[in-house]
Amino acid sequence: CKQPANGSTCQPGGAGLASAASVKVAMQNGQTKNVSSIHVPPDYDFGVQADLAILKLSDPVRDIRPTPINDTVSVGFGTPGIIAG
């Protein structure tokens, strides 16, 4: 979601949620992909639970292998991460 100007956190379907048409995903090969939809869990609570969005791309990603999900090391709040698959 986009951070609202008033500093509040965004809510699913709220004014702070970015539209799919306004989002592009940068790929490691320098290409960008358009986003066709954004799915936010209904129990989203910024920094507490369900703090994840699924972006459905407009077309498939090719030639990039998925990375295994880290399950051995805990990372700090706010650490950027990428999940592809």
Considering the chain, what is the average pLDDT of its residues? 75
Answer positive or negative: Cα dihedral of 12, 9, 4, 30.
negative
Enclosing domain of residue 18 = 1-61
Would 37 be classed as within a structural domain?
yes
Domain assignment present for residue 67? The answer is no
First to last CA, the chain: 21
Q: pTM for this structure?
A: 0.57
pLDDT, tens digit, 9 for 90 and up, residues 3-41: 555 555 555 555 557 788 888 888 877 888 999 998 888
**Number of domains present in the structure of the chain:** 1
Domain assignment present for 85: no
Question: Count of residues for the chain?
Answer: 85
